[in-house]
Structure 1
C-alpha cells in the first residue's frame, strides 16, 4: 500500500498532522500530537523511585531529513529505526546546530552554540591544531559524575592526540575514528593514514566499518550491563558519509586508494543503490543494538535517541526542503530525530517542537539525574516537557556558516536568511522549499529579524579567517553550477 493509498502526502508528514499513518514504518505510526492539557506535569526528578536509565545516543553522518522510511524514504526500508519511532517520538522540526560535522558535534557534547568555542568555528575541523578543550564540561563528563559508565563508538572529529580526544572529554571507553572521514574497508583518512583506535591505541581491522561499530557496541553493552552503574553509549556512525561504499564494495575501496587526498570525497562514484546499502547496513547495526538490549532484559530501562549530525549530501533525500550539507537552507540543517523512552514517551507520538543538537545535553542530564555545570550554562533547552507530550514552546534558533557568509534565524514560522550579498525572508511552514522571498511584502518583519540576528551574533565569537570552511561549487556538483570559489 502506498502513501497515496493512505491519503498521506509528504507535505502532511512534514507538518505532523494530528493523525497519520505511514506505511513505511515497521507497524505503522499513529502520529498523535499530545496537547499540554493532556500531558502529565514534569517531575523535577524523572527517576524518583526507579533506577537511572541507560542512554544510547545514535548519530548518523550526513543523513538527510527524509532518508529513513518513517520520515518518508520510499526506495528502501529502515525497520530498526522505524521501530524506535513506533515505540517513541518523532520530532518533525529538528535542526542540527550546523550544516557540517564537527561544528554540530561541538554543540552536541557541550550543550552550547558551537560559536562559543574556537573548535566550533571549524567547518569542519581538518588538520589544524585545535580541538575540544578537555577542561570544558561535556555531556558524557557530567553523566559520569552522576555515576554513569560512558563510551563512544564511532566518530569523534573534535581534535587529535596528544591534546584532544574522547578519553580526555568525559568518555571511559573509545573505539572508533578520530577524524572526519575514513575509508570503510581500509580505515584510512584523506591523508592515507590509518585512523582506527581502541582508546588511544591505534589498531588495524579489515572488516566493513559500519559493521565493526555494531560489533563493538553490542560488546560494550554486554560489558557495561554487568556492572551496577547505568551506562551512556554514544554510537556515532560514519554512514552514510562518503566514500560511497556498501558492505560489498571492497573493490571500490581499492579503486580510490591511490586517488590522493580527494579520493575519499568520491566525486566520481556513488549511486542511489550504494547509498541505500549504506543506510540499510547502519539500520541493521541499530537492530543488533536493540536486540542486545532485549536479550539482556534492559530495553525498558534504556533511552534511545537517533538523529543525524547535519542535513544530507549528494545522494540524500532532504524532501521537502532545498539545500544540502554546508548550506543554511532547510535541507542542510533539518534532520530526523527520534527518542524512545519507555514509561515517559507515548508510543508513536509526534512533536512539532523546534529542537537543536545542543538540546541533548540539558535533556539527557535531566533524564540521568545529572547536574549541569553552572559556570557553562547551556544554550540548549530541556525537551522533557515535549517528550511528555506538551505543546511546542516558542523558540528562536540561530545559525552561521562562514562559506558564502551565510546567516540564518528561525523565529516561529519566519526565517531570515543571508547567502553572500543576498538576503531572504521565508515562511518555512508554508514554504519549506524556501522559494518565495517575502522581503518586499513584509519589510518590517525582515528588519526586525535581521536586527535580532545581529544582536545574537555579537554575543558569539567572531569569525576566524584561519578556520576551515567548505562549500560545494559547480566543479563538484552540477546543480551548483552557479557557485564558484
Structure 2
C-alpha cells in the first residue's frame, strides 16, 4: 500500500477533471496524478477536516475530533488570533482544551496494517499524528520532517528557510532529518539525467545543476528507495508519505518555476505552479517505483497488482477553489473538499468516478476490510467504502457526515458544527453557529459554492422534514459524542448544544 498525502492541495489544483466534476486546472500540469485518476477511481465528494492536524489525527485514529482517542480540532490552538483585529477583544466563547496529537494506545491505523503483516514506513509531516510512534513500526521513522529549516552557513545564522537543503557549517548539506539527509546533496548531472529526466514535462533541467535540493525531491528519493528495498525482500509494506508540498511558504523547484514564468505567470503564481508540478513529478517517481521496483526499465517485477495506491489532500487549498467557496481553515466546501484518487490494478475499475461522500475517518475501516483485519473491538467513526472501490456498491448506507469546531481559527472559523446529509444522490449541508444560535442550509448539487442559504427564504414544504431531520441528527451526534463547546466568557456557563423543536 502507498498513501500519498498532499498538503493544502485544492480541489481544482490538479489538471484532471475526474475528482472535481470536470473542473481540472487549465494552468497547473499534473500528468502523473492525472494518470492515477485514469487508472483508478476518483471521488467528487471527498472530505477532510479544515486543516492539517485534525485531518491527520482523524485519518490515523479513524475517529472524528470528538472521538476518545482523538481530541485534535485545530493546528496549535483553539484561540488563534484574528489577523485583522490582532486578537479577539470580545471573545464570546472560551474554547475547551484540545490535544496536539491523538492518543495512540496501539490502535492507530499503523498498528492495524502492521497487524496484517505489512512493514510500515512513515516519512513526512507528523502534525496530529502520535510522535514518536513508539516501538514496532518497522523502520525507526517518526515522520517528523519539517519544511522550515534553520542552521548556520558560513558563520551566519539562517532562519526560516523553507524546503531547500542547507549547507550547514556543522552538518553539511541537510534537511535537518537523519532520514532524508543522505539525499540532501545539490542536484548534479547524474541525478538530473537518471532521476528527473524521465519525468521532464517542458521544464529545463539544466537550470538545476549545482543548486540546493528541494525537500519534496528528498522525500521522493527516500520513498523510491524504500519501495525498492521492500520489493527486493518480498516483504509487503504500507508506505505513508505525508508531503509538505504545497504548504506555504511556497518554494517551487527552479526549473519548474521558470517553466511557468515563461508562460506569463507572475512570480507568485509561477512559484505555486512550479510547486504543484514538483509534487506531481514526485508522485510520478513513486508510482514508477511500484511499476519498476528495480529500475531496470523492465516491468517484469511490476507490483501494481499487489499495491493499493491512494492520493489525497489534507484540506482545501489556500488559493481559489472555484466554484467552491473558501479555503483551508473553513467548513465551506473550499476548505474541506479535496481531490481523492485510488488505484488498485485488477481490483478497482479504471477511469471510474464516484459521487459517494467519503471522509478521512473512512480510510481506517476501508483499509482494514481490504486487508481482512478485524477491527470490531475498536471505536471507529468511519465507514468502510471498500465495496465502492470494488464496484460491488455505488452507495454507502450512511446518510450523515459531521464536523465540529469549538473555538477560533483567526478570521476563518468560529465556533460551529456542520452536518452533511444525503438524500438519494442529493447532498444537503447545514451549519450551526454557536455565538449567534443561527442555522444555514445549502443544496450542494445545485449550489456547490454555498451562495444560497435555503433558510433565508421561505423553506419549501418538501424541505421542512429534511430541515428537522438534519437539526435533530446533528444535535443527537453532538450529545452522543459529548462534543465540547467551551464556556460563555460573560458568565462561565457551558455553551449549549443547538435547541431543536
Range into which the TM-score falls when normalised by the shorter chain: 0.7 to 0.9
Matches within 5 A, 1:396-407: 396-401=400-405, 402-403=407-408, 404-407=414-417
Residue 248 of structure 1 and its aligned partner are, at CA, apart by 2.6
Alignment length (residue pairs): 383
Indicate yes or no: 2:337 matched with 1:329: no
Identify the residue that residue 88 of structure 2 maps to in structure 1: none
Identify the residue that residue 292 of structure 1 maps to in structure 2: 289
Contact 1:139 1:170 in 2 (8 A): no
Identify the residue that residue 348 of structure 2 maps to in structure 1: 345
Matches within 5 A, 1:243-258: 243-248=249-254
Select 1:157's aligned residue among 127, 142, 150.
127
Residue 214 of structure 1 and its aligned partner are, at CA, apart by 0.4
Select 1:358's aligned residue among 361, 384, 387.
361
Change (3 A) 1:334 1:159: closer
Normalising by the residue count of structure 1, what TM-score does the alignment of the two structures yield? 0.72
Gap regions ≥5 residues in structure 1: 1-54, 188-193, 252-268, 467-485
Matches within 5 A, 1:366-405: 366-372=369-375, 374-389=376-391, 390-394=393-397, 395-401=399-405, 402-403=407-408, 404-405=414-415
Contact 1:305 1:340 in 2 (8 A): yes
CA distance in 2 between counterparts of 1:180 and 1:132 reads 22
Change (3 A) 1:123 1:292: same
SS in 1 for 2:403: strand
CA distance in 2 between counterparts of 1:202 and 1:407 reads 45
Contact 2:216 2:243 in 1 (8 A): yes
Contact 2:133 2:142 in 1 (8 A): no
1:348-407 CA distance string (max 9 Å, x none) = 0111111001111111122223332x3323211111111122222243100112321121
Change (3 A) 1:286 1:200: closer
Contact 2:69 2:103 in 1 (8 A): no
Change (3 A) 1:375 1:350: same
Matches within 5 A, 1:86-485: 86-96=38-48, 98-117=49-68, 120-125=71-76, 130-158=100-128, 164-167=131-134, 170=137, 172-174=139-141, 176-177=143-144, 183-185=162-164, 196-198=176-178, 207-248=213-254, 271-296=268-293, 297-313=302-318, 315=319, 317-372=320-375, 374-389=376-391, 390-394=393-397, 395-401=399-405, 402-403=407-408, 404-412=414-422, 413-419=427-433, 420-421=435-436, 422-439=438-455, 440-441=458-459, 442-463=463-484
Whose Rg is larger?
Answer: 2
Change (3 A) 1:220 1:167: farther
Change (3 A) 1:203 1:338: closer
Residue 107 of structure 1 and its aligned partner are, at CA, apart by 0.9
Change (3 A) 1:104 1:79: same
SS in 2 for 1:154: coil
CA distance in 1 between counterparts of 2:241 and 2:119 reads 14
CA distance in 2 between counterparts of 1:217 and 1:200 reads 10
Q: Tell me the C-alpha RMSD between the 2 structures.
A: 3.2
CA distance in 2 between counterparts of 1:169 and 1:355 reads 30
SS in 1 for 2:220: helix
CA distance in 1 between counterparts of 2:225 and 2:439 reads 50
Change (3 A) 1:117 1:294: same
- Which stretch of the first structure deviates more once superposed, 148-157 or 419-428? 419-428
Residue 438 of structure 1 and its aligned partner are, at CA, apart by 0.9
Gap regions ≥5 residues in structure 2: 18-23, 79-97, 150-161, 167-173, 186-211, 258-265, 294-301, 409-413, 488-501
Residue 330 of structure 1 and its aligned partner are, at CA, apart by 0.9
Change (3 A) 1:393 1:145: closer
SS in 2 for 1:73: coil
Identify the residue that residue 62 of structure 1 maps to in structure 2: 8
Contact 2:418 2:429 in 1 (8 A): yes
CA distance in 1 between counterparts of 2:473 and 2:64 reads 16
Normalising by the residue count of structure 2, what TM-score does the alignment of the two structures yield? 0.70
Residue 136 of structure 1 and its aligned partner are, at CA, apart by 4.2
Change (3 A) 1:427 1:171: farther
Contact 1:408 1:418 in 2 (8 A): yes
Contact 2:63 2:69 in 1 (8 A): no
